[in-house]
Structure 1
Amino acid sequence: MAPGDRVMMGHMSNAFTTRVLNIVSGTEETVVDLTHDCESFLREVADGRDGLLNVFVPHATAGIAVIETGAGSDSDLLAALHTLLPSDDRWQHRHGTPGHGRDHVLPALVPPHATLPVLGGRLELGTWQSVCLVDTNISNVNRQVRLSFLG
């Protein structure tokens, strides 16, 4: 286990382990693929067990999506979010960069969490699925993502 990991044993044989990833998402809207980080975490802590991986971003202006990446879908997602949530002055939440209020609406469309099946210690994703951080807030470049395994 890495420093900062916590393991809490329940009354059954289940274990809960959690780790925080520090992500620098940059000053542009972005989709950050976390799949490798999730798989590495599970290799360290799941020990071949079945369970659930929860991915959670504790920020009011980011979300977690399970989508295809690398074939343009990540860019398409950002374009769709621009259509649904334009960066203009319509938002009542007005601090920060122009149109920043849209970033606070994002988690209603791209939730701040995903819970995923783990079988035999491995993340069970579909062929083209990746676990991604979706960050449209260009003013906050430092993000945390909490990975928690229950199994």
Structure 2
Amino acid sequence: MPDAFTTRTLNVTTGTREAVADLTHACEEFLQDSAAGRDGLLNIFVPHATAGVAIIETGAGSDDDLLAALRTLLPPDNRWHHRHGTPGHGRDHVLPALVPPHATLPVIGGRLELGTWQSVCLVDTNKDNPNRQVRLSFLG
């Protein structure tokens, strides 16, 4: 019988620009290896103070819209008290309050239960740290 709890760390390079990186395929591959047709929960966790996890449509402009909305809500300027790094970096430390660093999703029959247009995405506005880790954990 497969383990009831399995975990894996992904290394994701987001580059030096704001990014919404689609993790859906990596999540599905992880579940193929770990869920073995079982029901359970997939937890996605980003152990960074300046990144988050969003469930959002990608490829039709929503990912760009999300980044535009975050620039409106959290302008990359010098208003922030947290001031190390590139100008406006303090906003990156506020991001996880709006885009949490985790999501827990249902897995049915070993498959991720997302809506038709939903994708699992890493949201990273921090231009100073292009290398991210994402922890995937299956409990089932």
Q: Please indicate the TM-score interval, normalised by the length of the shorter structure.
A: over 0.9
The one of 113, 123, 137 equivalent to 1:134 is 123
Corresponding residue for 2:59? Answer: 70
CA deviations 1:95-143 (Å, max 9, x no partner) are: 0000000000000000000000000000000000000000000010100
Amino acid corresponding to residue 93 of structure 1 in structure 2: H
Matched, 1:91 2:80: yes
Amino acid corresponding to residue 5 of structure 2 in structure 1: F
Corresponding residue for 2:19? Answer: 30
Matched, 1:59 2:39: no
Unaligned runs of 5+ in 1: 1-6, 10-14
Q: Which structure has the higher relative contact order (CA within 8 Å, separation 6+)?
A: 2
Unaligned runs of 5+ in 2: none
The alignment partner of 2:80 has SS state of: coil
Question: Structure 1: how far apart are the matches of 2:126 and 2:5?
Answer: 31
Aligned length: 139
Corresponding residue for 1:108? Answer: 97
Structure 1 residue 42: deviation in Å?
Answer: 0.1
Amino acid corresponding to residue 150 of structure 1 in structure 2: L
TM-score of the superposition, structure 2-length normalised? 0.98
Question: Structure 2: how far apart are the matches of 1:44 and 1:18?
Answer: 11
Structure 1 residue 59: deviation in Å?
Answer: 0.1
Structure 1 residue 36: deviation in Å?
Answer: 0.0
The alignment partner of 2:70 has SS state of: helix
Matched, 1:146 2:135: yes
TM-score of the superposition, structure 1-length normalised? 0.91
| Ranges of 4+ aligned residues in structure 1 off by more than 4 Å | none
Structure number, greater radius of gyration: 1
The alignment partner of 1:145 has SS state of: strand
